[in-house]
Amino acid sequence: THHKGKQNKKAQQAFRTGLETLAEELEFGITGLREESDALKKRHDDLIARQRTLTEKHGGMNTHDSDIIELNVRGTEMFARRDTLTVVRGSRLEALFSGRWENQLLRDEKGHVFMDLDPAVFRKVMEYLYTAKLFAKQDADLILPRVEPNDKAMFDLYMDFFALLQPSQECDSKATATQEDKSSIHAQKALVESMKSELDRMEKKLAVEESFVAYFVKGDDDATSDARYHDDICG
């Protein structure tokens, strides 16, 4: 009996030690996740601040989704609401008309934003944007507009150039994990890694934005801009 008592006592002690070790590991894991979460929040806040600085610097603080944007597409006048041109989140058109570059956009003598693009093909791009806006709140695949065979290759290039065919944002869906997932440290670590990847993508996109909008802003060297534009559009 005495021997069994000693065994039970050792087993209980080992169990308590195991629980204490587990508690320490959990606390360490939770603390680490909290620190990483705080760091991600700061990165996100810094990113938003950078975007706001660009908007303030380039006169976009008074822009609104309902603004009517007047375009000069190689001599053809077109009109669209700002929220139509920016309907595809993460696209280059969204960046261009976000307000971050408002007073830098190249304009003609009437103040219309000048775009050196094929007007017939760009009109089809606009048609796609109208459809995307119309079905923005519906879970349905968008149908591309019918394009003349001779214009199909250029239409595809424009859609790619402006990054209009994008998968839906994964960050939002991953951030809405179930309560069961949230209780798992492993799941939380996976979520943190997902958020890191999303922030990396957002920071990279903002970093290259200035290079892209150089095609459509004033003050850029024309020859250099035309050469870069040709390289990106024509490969």
**pTM of the model as a whole:** 0.65
* pLDDT tens, position by position, 115-158: 999 999 999 999 999 999 988 777 667 789 999 999 999 999 99
In whole angstroms, give the CA distance from residue 122 to residue 104.
21
What percent of the chain is predicted at pLDDT more than 90? 38
pLDDT averaged over every residue in the chain: 79
Token pair 């879970």 in the structure block, residue: 139
Residue type, 186: H
> Which phi and psi (to 5°) does residue 70 adopt?
-100, 125
- Single out the residue of 219, 201, 195 nearest to residue 33, CA to CA: 195
Interaxial angle between packed helices 2-57 and 185-213, expressed in degrees from 0 to 180 and rounded to the nearest 10: 20
In whole angstroms, give the CA distance from residue 71 to residue 62.
19
β-bridge pairing 76-81 and 68-73: antiparallel
